Amino acid sequence: MSAQEPSSAPPTPPAPPVSLAALLSRRDLGLRLLAGPPDAAVHWVHTSEMADPYPYLLGGELLMTAGVQLPDPATYVERVVAAGAAALGFGVAPVYDTVPAALVAACERHGLPLVEVPPQTPFTAVARAVWRLMAEARHRELRRVTEAQQSLAVAAARPAPVPAVLGALASRLGGRAVLYAADGTPYAAAGRELPDGAARALMDLAGVLGPRPGGPASASGEGGDGLRLAAYALGGGDGLTLGVATESREPGDHTIAGVAVVLLSLLTAPHRGADVSARDTALVRLLLGTPPQEAAAALDPGPWTVVHAHGGDGTPFAAPSLAAALGTALLDAGGTGSSGTGATEPDGTPVSVRLLLPASSPVTPQPGWTLGVSAPVEAHDLATGDAQAARALRRAEAGRTGLVRHRPAGFGGLMDEAEAAAYARTVLAPIGEPLTETLRTWLSLHGSWDRTAVALDIHRNTVRQRIARCATLLDMDLDDANVRMELWFALGRV
């Protein structure tokens, strides 16, 4: 391999650097710092016994040597520093019994960290430890970025997505996030307030980008009080700019900010205005007491499909992922679980969400979810679709199938829904949960004790006791097919 002069901006590997202090803390290596600061950033390890290693270094290395060719320690250290090495590791034995004092003095004079490597520690062990620390740091960075991406995506699905995304970004980076309009005025902001000087510096940095065609997409700088500043131009063509101020700059910060830029660009893009404005108008009208039929006039008349879904993987990202898979942004993740906390319960158990999508969009089974799908309904009749999807979801869960669609035909459709629901409440009034759910599951599984026990995760004797209790409280013979039919009819309407 030919030798090359190191450039002024040496390339670095696709992994975060390792602090020299982290390497020194490894007791199994027995390393000892003899000179220089312990907080140097090590990008890689290189071993060389050349008298002048300068042509072979890229910068950022922990250079390892046993001093086979060390005619002049002062000149050697000068060349190592000029090459941009992060630190020097000197192996004791077989050439030297101790680290030369002249080498220690030269490193101290130039501020180059000098590490003593004991005889029992091979250079390869030091290199392996650096790679391992790098892998651990990379894993932590990827996990942090992934968690931030999920947090930002969940924020983008909230009713006020732009402030929510800025809040999530400021929280993840531990600083301040500001969205500036094309004229430089703050459009929205979140996070800790900045000192006046830092706030002006961030605004000025955002102004460097501006709406100029072909201008830079990002810029960085320093603010007062040691703050790190960064600005990013949004891609909506309307001159919006994102400014971020943090106390430090961590690996992955740029990636996290990039995700926020993409989401904010989509949320503020001009082509979203008409649809979002129409939906917001309809919502405001409903909140102000306008009858649903009148508020629906502000929406696309449809037809629409209402979907009730139960399941997910227990993460906050589950509901938005389902909405994306079904191709809709109209998601109610308020949840119908026992705690009403949203897409996940505190213990990670699944909950229910509701979605609205055009009837022309196909609804297919989704892994980890149970879906109930309404018949196509017009905008003014969404309440009917909501009730249909709820009943379809109950049938899907009772039958342990992934997707059930509303069936408008059958004897049930011949009876008035309100009258049927009132009758069902009267019939089932003597029993409550968990008896109602046990009875529903038992009937859906054709009276099988074992299958019901598995479905409810209880003992088969508990199933028998609950069904016997139902028969006593209802005063009905549950072995009678007509009784079972009537109860099934009633359970489908509560």
Residue 68 has pLDDT above 60, yes or no: yes
The answer to whether residue 106 sits within a structural domain is yes
Residue 237 has pLDDT above 50, yes or no: yes
Q: Which of 98, 132, 166 is the last residue of a domain?
A: 132
On whether both 445 and 420 belong to a single domain, the answer is yes
**How many residues are listed for the chain in this entry?**
494
Least confident of 11-15, 64-68, 291-295, 433-437: 11-15
Closest CA relative to residue 60, chosen from 36, 80, 78 = 80
Beta sheet of 87-91, edge-to-edge order: 32-35, 114-117, 87-91, 61-65, 44-47
On whether both 417 and 381 belong to a single domain, the answer is no
Number of domains composing the chain: 4
157 by DSSP, 3-state: which? coil
On whether both 397 and 452 belong to a single domain, the answer is no
Residue partners of 267: CB distance under 8 A and separation at least 6: 156, 161, 162, 165
Structural tokens at position 358: 């055009």
Structural tokens at position 50: 């050349």
Distance CA 296, CA 290 (A): 10
Instruction: Judge whether 256 and 169 are in contact, CB under 8 Å.
Output: yes
Least confident of 156-170, 289-303, 314-328, 368-382: 289-303
On whether both 315 and 225 belong to a single domain, the answer is no
On whether both 400 and 425 belong to a single domain, the answer is no
On whether both 315 and 256 belong to a single domain, the answer is no
Instruction: Kindly indicate the confidence band of residue 299, based on its pLDDT and cuts at 50, 70 and 90.
Output: low
Domain interval for residue 243: 157-268
Distance CA 244, CA 178 (A): 6
Q: What is the dihedral of CA 142, 147, 152, 153, to 10 degrees?
A: 100
Residue partners of 293: CB distance under 8 A and separation at least 6: 380
Q: Mean of the per-residue pLDDT values for the chain? A: 81
The answer to whether residue 283 sits within a structural domain is no
CATH number where 193 lies: 3.30.450.30
On whether both 263 and 213 belong to a single domain, the answer is yes
**What sign results for the dihedral spanned by CA atoms 127, 129, 132, 137?**
negative
On whether both 119 and 73 belong to a single domain, the answer is yes
On whether both 399 and 418 belong to a single domain, the answer is no
Beta pairing partners, 459: none
Please give the distance of CA 248 from its chain centroid, rounded to a whole number. Answer: 22
Instruction: Judge whether 198 and 182 are in contact, CB under 8 Å.
Output: no
The answer to whether residue 471 sits within a structural domain is yes
Distance CA 91, CA 30 (A): 11
Percent of the chain with pLDDT over 70: 80
On whether both 378 and 421 belong to a single domain, the answer is no
The answer to whether residue 13 sits within a structural domain is no
- pLDDT for 214 equals 53
Instruction: Judge whether 100 and 50 are in contact, CB under 8 Å.
Output: no
- pLDDT for 74 equals 94
The answer to whether residue 238 sits within a structural domain is yes
Structural tokens at position 72: 């002049």
On whether both 179 and 244 belong to a single domain, the answer is yes
- Phi then psi for residue 125, to 5 deg, are -65, -40
- pLDDT for 350 equals 60
